[in-house]
Amino acid sequence: MTPFVEGMLAGYGIAIPIGAIAILIMDASIRRGLAAGLMAGAGAATADFLYATLAVVAGAVVAPVLAPFAAPLRIAGGIVLIAIAGLGIWRGMKVESDKAPRAPASHPLRTYLQFVGLTIINPMTVVYFTALVLGTGTIDARSRIASGLLFIAGAGLASLSWQSLLALLGSIAGRRLTPRMRLAATVVGNLIVFGLGARLVIAGLA
């Protein structure tokens, strides 16, 4: 699998589960129009892009040192991803509060910056990307820079496309996702994460 495809799967895996940020993006689009929703989505995607970049840079620095431990590293990374997926599904199955958070009303640029900040405070995102990058060995010695850039591009584009879709759905529907739809998206997103983790464990055992 190419680094770009790895990045896209990683981006969709972290973006698709419906949480507070997704609801805020749709709320911004519903209450203030598609442009505001797209700016909010771009802010969330930027945070995912930054975390993917951080994980790739960290992976490029430590990967040569950890190369002799490639198999255990893949297994450990896979277990981390499986745990993240399980936790995400468990949280999604819990009863949600009746009131979703309200998106802050502001200028489009300020909306963008607010959503960068709101999304970037989630430390689980960097754990997710780091486990995936180190586990898959996406960054190899022969094409480190090219592979890293492709992974980052894939992750960023995947996240941006999903967040933009949420903004579009919000502007069309005029209401937020129903609890059942939200749960379905959460399960699908976390199943992608689970699949990535299982693949790493199998590769490490092989």
Over residues 23-69, the pLDDT tens digits come to 788 878 877 888 999 999 999 999 989 888 887 887 667 666 666 66
Q: What pLDDT is recorded for position 56?
A: 81
Mean pLDDT computed over every residue of the chain: 78
Given a cut of 50, whether residue 98 has pLDDT beyond it is no
Quick one: 13 exposed, middle or buried, by C-beta within 10 A (0-12, 13-18, 19+)? buried
Listed residue (77, 57, 47) closest to 149, CA to CA: 57
Whether 136 and 13 have beta carbons less than 8 Å apart is answered as no
Q: What pLDDT is recorded for position 66?
A: 62
Can you tell me the mean pLDDT for 183-205? 81
Can you tell me the mean pLDDT for 13-24? 77
Can you tell me the mean pLDDT for 166-187? 75
Radius of gyration of the chain (CA): 17
Residue span of the structural domain in which 16 resides: 3-205
The secondary structure of 80-110 as a DSSP string is HHHHHHHHHHHHHHSPPPSSPPPPPP--HHH
205 or 108, higher pLDDT: 205
Q: What pLDDT is recorded for position 97?
A: 47
pLDDT band at 100 (very low <50, low <70, confident <90, very high): low
Least confident of 8-12, 129-133, 167-171, 186-190: 129-133
Least confident of 116-125, 135-144, 156-165: 135-144
Can you tell me the mean pLDDT for 173-192? 72
CA angle 38, 41, 42 (to 5 degrees): 85
CA angle 134, 91, 199 (to 5 degrees): 30
Q: What pLDDT is recorded for position 63?
A: 62
Question: Domain total for the chain?
Answer: 1
Q: What pLDDT is recorded for position 43?
A: 94
